[in-house]
Amino acid sequence: MKLEIDERQLSLEIEALAAISDVEPPAVTRIVFTPTDLKARDWMISRCKEAGLAVRQDAIGNIFARWNGTEPTAPAVGTGSHIDAIPNAGKYDGVVGVLGGLEAIRALQRSGFRPKNSIELLVFATEEPTRFGIGCLGSRLLSGTLSAEAAAKLKDRDGESVDEVRRKAGFNGILQHVKLPKGYYKGFVELHIEQGPLLERAQISLGIVTSIAAPASLRISIEGAGGHAGGVLMPDRKDALCAAAELILAVENAARSSGTVDTVATVGVCDVFPGAVNSIPSRVGMTLDIRDTDLARRDGAMQTIERASRDIAAKRQVSIQSELLNADAPADCAPEVRAALAESCRQHGFSFLEMVSRAYHDSLFISRIAPTGMLFIPCRNGYSHRPDEYAAPDDIARGALVLAESLAKLSGSSQ
């Protein structure tokens, strides 16, 4: 089997998808179920149909594009990622796995390969937590990690529920039916940019993921007392933003003092009310994102933050409430998928590094229901979630080639 990735076509498609965005290039913003996201999804579905794939969408908007194998009722071999993008993101996060996956399928088709098990491209809905506060909603539902009832009730910042928003976007199916039947996938492989600097620094072509770190996130509300910035003297204040500032530093400290660099914690949202120059902040809404490769250590850091929060609330006489949005366990990648990826790398003489994924991915949840692996390609300076995110076309093509060969291996040929 001689496989050739069409690097030029793949680059053109990445550029075309990046142009479907709510902000000026090179930045990309594509929040799930906005008109821009819906346009990108239509564009993606057209590309899949052009490749002769059978397309269906489920009730949360996961897109499945299937190349039927000679044993069409046998479990499929899956690949894919996401096309939603956080505000002011880059072009490659998620997209490389979706368009790279499509190109891997097209390369297999051009080579004359005929799959035994069907090969399916999966475009996961709402991987990013921007809109509903929780990441990987599509794969949580597919894997049954989150119930349809709980998912339907999640709300966006405007107070609209997942159920309302998805219906307005035209997804009226039954959410309970999103969960995949047992044994749906024989194996799953996600191609993704590394989102860290290790491959580039070590000048290694590809990363084979061994495990995916455990993410957790919380919404924190701080309530103090507002008032006139001139009239209220310092001893009388219950400034919610000052309490938030202390808590943010406590978050940083909890991660820094865990004894390893593997604990990371971030406050990425801090909404101040009323947000006027001469008014003492009475309310602050913030988010906490905390991750670790070790579940117990992550939970330990969360407890440290919880204790700090109680102390700060008592000292500053404010109320601090936190709502846990998710606290997921880490996942190990499947030996058979890792072996397929490694074998392909060795055959081509591509160097590879076995590494942990510190970012989360839909594969974290798909790994609960199928043998799953991930392949990383380098990205410049490790930049991601920013407009200057960049992956070189030849690196992307190399990843798509190894992906294609691994999908072929997992599917088996009918010839």
CA distance 238 to 235: 9
CB of 126 to ligand GLV, least distance (A): 11
Q: Write the CB contacts of 50 (distance below 8 Å, at least 6 apart in sequence).
A: none
CB of 14 to ligand GLV, least distance (A): 18
Q: How far apart are the first and last CA of the chain?
A: 11
Q: Is 325 in the site for ligand GLV (CB under 6 A)?
A: no
Residues of span 4-33 touching Mn ion by CB under 5 A: none
- The secondary structure of 174-235 as a DSSP string is -GGGGSPPTT-EEEEEEEEE-SSSHHHHHT-SEEEEEEEPEEEEEEEEEE-B-EETTTS-GG
- Which partner, Mn ion, ligand GLV, none, binds residue 207 by CB below 5 to 8 Å per kind? none
Least spacing, CB of residue 57 vs Mn ion, in Å:
20
* Burial (CB count <10 Å: 0-12, 13-18, 19+), residue 408: buried
Answer for which of 191, 359, 364, 408 binds ligand GLV (CB under 6 A) is: 359
CB 70 to Mn ion: min, Å: 33
Determine the size of the site formed for ligand GLV (CB under 6 A). 4
Site string for ligand GLV, 104-133 (x = CB under 6 A): ------------------------x-----
CA angle at 127 for the pair 174 and 320, rounded to the nearest 5°: 100
The label of the residue with tokens 């999103």 reads: 178
- Closest approach of ligand GLV to the CB of residue 360, in Å: 4
Q: Which does 360 bind (CB under 5 to 8 A by kind): ligand GLV, Mn ion, none?
A: ligand GLV
Q: Does 94 bind Mn ion (CB under 5 A)?
A: yes
Please tell me whether residue 360 binds ligand GLV under the rule CB under 6 A.
yes
> What's the CA gap between 220 and 286, in Å, rounded?
5
Nearest approach, Cβ of 133 to Mn ion (angstroms)? 15
Q: How far apart are CA 300 and CA 295, in angstroms?
A: 9
- Return the number of the residue (62 or 411) whose C-beta is nearest ligand GLV: 62
Using CA of residue 85, residue 88, residue 90, residue 91, what is the dihedral sign?
A: positive
Residues contacting 19, CB < 8 A, separation 6+: 25
Amino acid at 351: S
93 belongs to the binding site for Mn ion (CB under 5 A): yes
Report the site for ligand GLV in 125-184 (rule: CB under 6 A): 128, 135
**Total residues contacting Mn ion (rule CB under 5 A)?**
2
Q: Binding residues for Mn ion, per CB under 5 A?
A: 93-94
Q: Which residues of the chain form contacts with ligand GLV (CB under 6 A)?
A: 128, 135, 359-360
